[in-house]
A = this chain, B = another copy of it.
Amino acid sequence: MSTSDMRSIVVVGAGAVGSYFGGRLAQGGATVSVVCRSDYDTVKQRGITVKSCDGDFQFTPTCTLAHDEPPNCPAYYYVIVAMKVLPHIDVPATIRDFVGPHTAILLLQNGIDIEASVARAFPENEVISGLAFICVSRTAPGVVHHQDHGRIVLGRYPAGRSSRVTALQRSFEAAGVPCRVSTDILTDRWAKLLWNAPYNTLSVLAGGVTTKEIMDDPALSVLVRQIMLEIRTIAAAYGCRIDMTVVDKHVEDTRTMRPYKTSMLLDFEAGRPLEVEAILGNALRMAAEKALPTPKLDVLYPLLATIDRAQRQ
What is A's interface to B at a CB cutoff of 8 Å? Answer: 202, 205-209, 213, 217, 219-220, 222-223, 295-296, 298-303, 305-307, 310
* C-alpha gap A307/B295 in the complex (Å): 22
Q: Which 10 A-B pairs have the closest CB atoms?
A: A219-B302, A207-B307, A206-B306, A299-B299, A295-B295, A220-B302, A206-B303, A205-B303, A207-B310, A296-B299
Instruction: Name A307's contact: one of B206, B219, B299, B310 (CB within 8 Å).
Output: B206
| Residue of A209, A298, A305, A306 contacting most chain B CB atoms (<10 Å) | A306
Q: Which residues of B have CB within 8 Å of A305?
A: 217, 219
* C-alpha gap A220/B306 in the complex (Å): 9
16 pairs from A and B in contact (CB 8 Å cutoff): A205-B205, A205-B303, A206-B302, A206-B306, A206-B307, A207-B303, A207-B306, A209-B310, A213-B306, A217-B302, A219-B301, A219-B302, A220-B306, A295-B295, A296-B299, A299-B299
Q: Which residues of B have CB within 8 Å of A208?
A: 310
Q: Give the shortest distance, in Å, between A205 (CB) and chain B (any CB).
A: 5
Q: Which residues of B have CB within 8 Å of A219?
A: 298, 301-302, 305
Q: Give the shortest distance, in Å, between A287 (CB) and chain B (any CB).
A: 14
| Residue of A206, A208, A222 contacting most chain B CB atoms (<10 Å) | A206
* C-alpha gap A306/B219 in the complex (Å): 10
